[in-house]
Amino acid sequence: MPTFMCIGLQGISNSEVARELKVTKMAASKIIKELQELGLVRSEKNLTDARSETLYLTEEGEIFNRKLKSIYADQINEYKKVVGNANYETAIDVLLQINHYHESLKLK
């Protein structure tokens, strides 16, 4: 998932972005800085925690996010045309199970 897709419209903290993407806060901060430089993301001081900032998509970021979601949906539809709905869903389920397995190894 691209970083800006998890930022969304309601705002999110850097820590939440890192957790959502399963990366370090430092890695998330670097990506967020690049998105800010591109004008896709803006930050505001968090009203409840002055040490934290809340990230929001800019208008340009929202437009880009909608375009990306449309492209993503089109790509999924193409995959389903190639392999059929049932095979696509099975493939996704198998990949999620494999991912879950590897995630559980990290916890040990």
State pLDDT tens for residues 32-54: 999 999 999 999 888 787 788 89
pLDDT of residue 77: 97
Is pTM beyond 0.75? Reply is no
Tokens of 88: 């696509």
Q: What is the dihedral of CA 45, 46, 47, 49, to 10 degrees?
A: -120
Residue 27 backbone phi and psi in degrees, to 5? -65, -40
Query: What are the pLDDT digits (tens) for 89-100?
Result: 999 999 999 999
Q: Which of 68, 66, 92, 65 is nearest to 79 (CA)?
A: 92
